[in-house]
Amino acid sequence: MSQQTLAEKAGVSRQTINAIEKGDYNPTLNLCIDICKALGKTLDEIFWEGD
């Protein structure tokens, strides 16, 4: 999925998605949930940093 498509589904700009991916922006919990819904994943699958 492109950044643009994810941004549209999550209701944010492509730049916001890019900043999250680069680690320059910490999204709110609500935005995290919206991203997870858009991707069909859980919070743990997307945002949990493994060992």
pLDDT of residue 28: 95
Query: Which candidate, 33, 30, 35, 29, places its Cα nearest to that of 17?
Result: 35
pTM of the predicted protein model: 0.83
pLDDT value at position 46? 87
How far apart CA 6 and CA 17 sit, in angstroms, is 8
Segments making up each domain of the chain, as ranges? 3-43
- Give the tens place of pLDDT for each residue, 14-23: 999 999 999 9
Structure confidence by residue, pLDDT tens digits, 1-51:
999 999 999 999 999 999 999 999 999 999 999 999 999 999 999 888 776
DSSP H helices in the chain: 3-10, 14-22, 29-39, 43-47
- What is the per-residue pLDDT for 49? 76
Alpha-carbon span 45 to 15, nearest angstrom:
22
Task: Give the residue from 34, 11, 9, 35 showing the smallest Cα distance to 21.
Answer: 35
